[in-house]
Amino acid sequence: MSGRPAVFLDRDGVLNQSFIGTDGVPRPPAGLAEFAIMEGVAEACRRLGALGFLRIVVTNQPDVARGTQRREIVEAIHQRLREVVPVDDIRICYHDDDDLCDCRKPKPGLLVSAANDWGIDLAASFMVGDRWRDIEAGQRAGCTTILIDRHENPSLTLEPTVRVESLPSAVSWISERVARATGATR
């Protein structure tokens, strides 16, 4: 497929701070008061745009289906995200695993639907996430995968293309790949 390249970005733990629950599982912010963009994220997304990448957020928000979060809170968080970080689209799965939807990561539905709507070349695209679900979704969609590795992934069974410590580091790695690829075609 030919089309535009994109960088798919998980939200919690990649763009904004997530919180470790009492069960050891990362949790999204409960509301706008807890919502905090991570350092360097806005500039990293600007760099991606300058490199010619669409920036598509793909996020699971199952707390809505579970009844522990309201959809309007998630939408308010996304409005704030758009005000601070340059992104082209935000794709959300509000389902839980039991719903058996096609959009909940690790299934690639969010990425595939964005690719269809935006004319994205998945093979030329990247998935950046901090959990195994992100890596598996990216691999299933045919993207290069980048793990933001905070050493909190004991259940990671798939190896990403590369591990980095932050979104700015991921963007530097992508930039180097783009430079090598364009240098090789000259």
Active site amino acids: 10, 12
Question: Length of the chain, please?
Answer: 186
Strand partners, 164: 148
Please give the single-letter amino acid code of residue 60. N
- Cβ-proximal residues to 144 (8 Å cutoff; 6+ apart), any chain: 125, 126, 127, 138, 161
- Rounded to the nearest 5°, which phi and psi values hold at 130? -120, 5
Q: Quickly count: other Cβ atoms within 10 Å of residue 2's Cβ.
A: 7
Check if the beta carbon of residue 148 is closer than 8 Å to that of residue 13: yes
CA-based Rg of the chain, rounded to a whole angstrom? 16
Three-state SS for 129-146 is: ECCHHHHHHHHHHCCEEE
What SS3 state is found at 76?
A: helix
Strand partners, 176: none
